[in-house]
Amino acid sequence: MACAPALAQTPASKAPKSLAMPATTGTPVMPQASPGQKPAEATPAERAAYDKAFQATLEKPSDPETLARFADLAVKVGDIEGAISALERLLLIDANQPEVKLELGVLYYRLGSVDAARMYLESAKTSKEASAEVKERADTFLKAIPKN
């Protein structure tokens, strides 16, 4: 998976100044139809970095930089649920982070959890602090979610 350019956080945010999240690049891709399908294997270096980042989250469970790094590495190794957990902890630290909500929406979308995806994407899109880019990306994914 390729990393997207870092998304700038709002200056008042307690989150890191940037998040290197791979989820929002390009056009939305529909979640995998077969839930048991495995993602591409992580390299040994990626797996080692992921394991180290996971240990860091145990040592610093409320450190925004640590959580953001773990989320990025978790996506790279295919641990979408781990990335979601870390990003949701970022929202517990500071709930006013449209970039993080966008990333959560995209990750839930990738899992096929369209209701959770829709909730986070709508929140990102309607945030007064969201950049035009965040709003546009959220809208792109919202349009791709099937209507119930």
Asked if residue 30 is part of any domain, the answer here is no
25 or 114, which is more confident = 114
Same domain, 88 and 104: no
Q: Measured between alpha carbons, how far is 108 from 141 in angstroms, rounded to an integer?
A: 11
Report whether 76 contacts 42 (CB < 8 A).
Answer: yes
- 56-73 residue pLDDT tens: 999 999 999 999 999 999
- pLDDT, residue 41, reads 82
Per the domain annotation, does 56 fall within a domain?
A: yes
Instruction: Please state the rounded mean pLDDT for residues 105-132.
Output: 96
Residue 9's pLDDT is: 29
Q: Are 125 and 104 in contact (CB under 8 A)?
A: no
In this prediction, residue 120 has a pLDDT band, given cuts at 50, 70 and 90, of very high
pLDDT of res. 146:
85
Single residue among 94, 109, 132 that ends a domain in this structure: 94
Give pairs for 131-140: CB < 8 Å, separation 24+.
131/8, 131/98, 133/7, 134/7, 134/98, 134/99, 134/102, 137/24, 137/102, 137/106, 138/102, 138/105, 140/27, 140/28
Token pair belonging to 98 = 């449209």
Please tell me whether residues 128 and 109 are part of one structural domain: yes
Residue 37 inside a domain? The answer is no
- Residue 79 is assigned to a structural domain of this protein: yes
**88 and 108: one domain?**
no
Q: Binning pLDDT at 50, 70 and 90, where does residue 105 land?
A: very high
What pLDDT, in 10s, does the model give residues 63-103? 999 999 999 999 999 999 999 999 999 999 999 999 999 99
Same structural domain, 86 and 124: no
User: The tokens of 120 are what?
Assistant: 């986070």
24 within domain boundaries: no
Query: Do the domain assignments include residue 2?
Result: no
Computed on alpha carbons and rounded to an integer, the radius of gyration of the chain in Å comes to 15
* Domain span at 57: 43-94
* Number of domains within the chain: 2
Residues of the chain with pLDDT > 70, as a percent, come to: 72
Burial, 15: exposed, middle or buried (Cβ in 10 Å; 0-12, 13-18, 19+)? Answer: buried
In a domain? residue 67: yes
Residue 145 and residue 124 in one domain: yes
Residue 22 lies in a domain: no
